Amino acid sequence: MRLTGNTLSKVSKMLDFYSQFNPTPMSIKQFIDFGLSACEQKSYTFLRKELPVRLANIMKEIHLLPENLLRMPSVGLVNDWYARSFDEILEFEKADCTSRDLDRFCKALIKIRNRHTDVVLTMAQGVLELKESHEVDSQTENSIQYFLDRFYMSRISIRMLINQHTLLFGGELTNDPHHRHIGCIDPQCDLVGVVKDAYENARFLCDQYYLSSPDLTITEHNELEHGAPIHIVYVPSHLYHMLFELFKNSMRAVVEHHNNNNNDNYPPIQVTVVRGKEDICVKMSDRGGGIPRSLTDQLFHYMYSTAPQPSKSDAHTVPLAGYGYGLPISRLYARYFHGELSLLSCDGYGTDAIVYMKALSNEANELLPIFNKTSSRFYRTTIPTGDWSNQTSCMSVRHLYTNNFSNKNNSNNRNTIRNQLSRSL
């Protein structure tokens, strides 16, 4: 169902309004503190203003994409999904806080979340449609890379807000055995347990495809409490997503690099879990032959993949295989709460992948893309711009977020309008 002309006009007007405001970054500690008090009215009051802001900021950037990409059917479908979801959230902009409204709002969030389930896959298909029908120059590729980093980071943040609300107030945790969870956050996330889960599921796929797989060895080092197991306040599904992708890549590399040995005695994948003062790290080391240094950066490009490109028929049976989205999106999950995912490879030997996470929950703040007048420059420049969306270090990410992503020229106006919105959480 397409939006009508009147609805599109209303959506366009409200997009201009809400895109004036910066999203409000939350820390894991804020998510936890709010979840413990679990006031549905406060969450409702916050989300009915915050979600339109986050949606409007990224929807404005969709309109800055190259015209050829915007004309692709899959991209048009994604654009329509976002416009429809934005319009549905606006229905609650001035609604009351009755139990009926709260129930309708929760159901609307679930509907929106379900609608956007295939956004990553559909947008990936749109990029493939562009590559198949047009010649993609370096300027267009840089624009797409810059946009997709911001687009998918925005999607992660929006789903985080929706999941927290629906899990806390929509009855979705009723039958959850992990009752200690606060929404989708585990205050005592067992890192080794998540590592083992990700390994076993990746191993199942590897055994299916190659009829064998490398073993796993795990080492823990707790610098603060020697000998104690390492736990973290974190979103287990985010960590699992990163580790599952890394395990798939490592297993494939190990098996294919050693396939001439005529035996199944592959060198194991070694995982080291370390807790330090500032960071908690999960390092995965394999002996899969490594990656040439000239290709390392390309592994984080959405338009590059070492796997065969999937056909439309098997796109849903092999998750993102061949799209090249596994590593770049995994890195976004790491960066979302100011962590990082880094690769260090020895060509001819193997690769180390390290996932960094903030040890302190009050330092694990959301990293959110912000739309402002300077955003359009990044879609028209042929020179890669220093930005957290590009391949920068974690230190650069923080610096550039602070200096490049805040619209300092409009800070006073933004603060004035922000106060008028009266957001509370």
The whole-angstrom separation of Cα 51 and Cα 115 is 15
Reading phi first (left if > 0) and then psi (alpha if -120 to 50, else beta), residue 211 is in left
Catalytic residue among 241, 257, 258, 358: 241
For residues 235 and 186, the answer to whether their CB atoms sit within 8 Å is yes
**DSSP 8-class letter at 390:** S
Q: Which helix (H) or strand (E) holds 358?
A: strand 350-358
Is 241 an annotated catalytic residue?
yes
The pair of three-digit structure tokens given for residue 125, joined into one six-digit string: 């298909």
Reading phi first (left if > 0) and then psi (alpha if -120 to 50, else beta), residue 64 is in alpha
Q: Determine how β-strand 216-222 pairs with β-strand 269-275.
A: parallel
Is 248 an annotated catalytic residue?
yes
User: Which of 321, 320, 318, 324 has the alpha carbon at shortest distance from 303?
Assistant: 324
Reading phi first (left if > 0) and then psi (alpha if -120 to 50, else beta), residue 80 is in alpha
Catalytic residue among 50, 61, 245, 366: 245
**DSSP 8-class letter at 302:** T
Catalytic residue among 22, 57, 249, 372: 249
Catalytic residue among 49, 116, 165, 248: 248
What residues contact residue 219 under an 8 Å CB cut-off, 6+ apart?
270, 271, 272, 273
The whole-angstrom separation of Cα 162 and Cα 51 is 9
Torsion on CA atoms 327, 54, 280, 225, rounded to nearest 10: -150
Instruction: Say whether 346 sits in a helix, a strand or coil.
Output: strand
Known catalytic residues are 241, 245, 248-249
